[in-house]
Amino acid sequence: MNKINVLDRGYVRLVDVMGSDLTVVNAARVSYAKESATLSDRDRRLIAFLAREGHTSPFRHAIAQFEVYAPLMVARQWWKYVVGSAHYEGTGDSLDAWNESSRRYITEELEFYVPSPGEWRSAPDNSKQGSGEVIPTEQGEIATQDLLDYVAYGERLYERAMKSGVCAEQARLFLPAYGMYVRWYWTASLQSVCHFLTQRLEHDAQREIQDYAKAILALIEPRFPVAIDEILTKHDEKGDA
């Protein structure tokens, strides 16, 4: 499995991977001029130690590349993990890379995320952000239809601007932005991927990006089963402490 569908039209695809759990082990052991050929119980204990003690640099020697197709509102939340990818250890250059499709150059078929009537959520009772329970279906039906009408109107204006000779980079101003699907490549170290997962698998993360984080986890965990398990487990333990 290298691709998982998310939401109504989105997906995550694992494009490429460099490294394995053994990469983390050997990056840590190079200080002593040691190297493992196969992953042993001793190596698993080393990964657990690194995760527990916050020795994160060995996890940056393994790299994963994903193709993501998601609504713009998800992409802009995700982007902060590239901007802040020096992580927990001060400053430094990022190993992350992000390249995104642009409607300055392309005019491929427009697609928008439109929640079904049963997917609209209420505002939370005691917070300025996040969401609460699903709203009644009758309200959801109105919201879905309103969004469909809004998208259709924006598309008409966009097409009219393009046909009248307006350049693509300005015509896109007519498009409803936050629900519009965009495509990008995200290349990140294993540490960066895990940092994203620890943040966006949390129960209070926005539901839509949680769904993408679950897809990332399902794709990457089989490639780094020990490292992923140790990092996420240690994060959960710290949260419960």
Phi, psi for 185 (deg, rounded to 5): -105, 130
At residue 121, the 3 state secondary structure works out as strand
Residue in 60, 172, 183, 200 annotated catalytic: 200
- In the residue annotation, 200 being an active-site residue is answered as yes
At residue 141, the 3 state secondary structure works out as helix
Distances in whole angstroms, Cα of residue 225 to Cα of each of 100, 218, 232:
29, 10, 11
Query: Nearest to residue 79, comparing CAs of 236, 233, 212?
Result: 212
Rounded to an integer, what distance in angstroms lies between the CA atom of residue 29 and that of residue 2? 31
Q: Which residues are catalytic?
A: 200
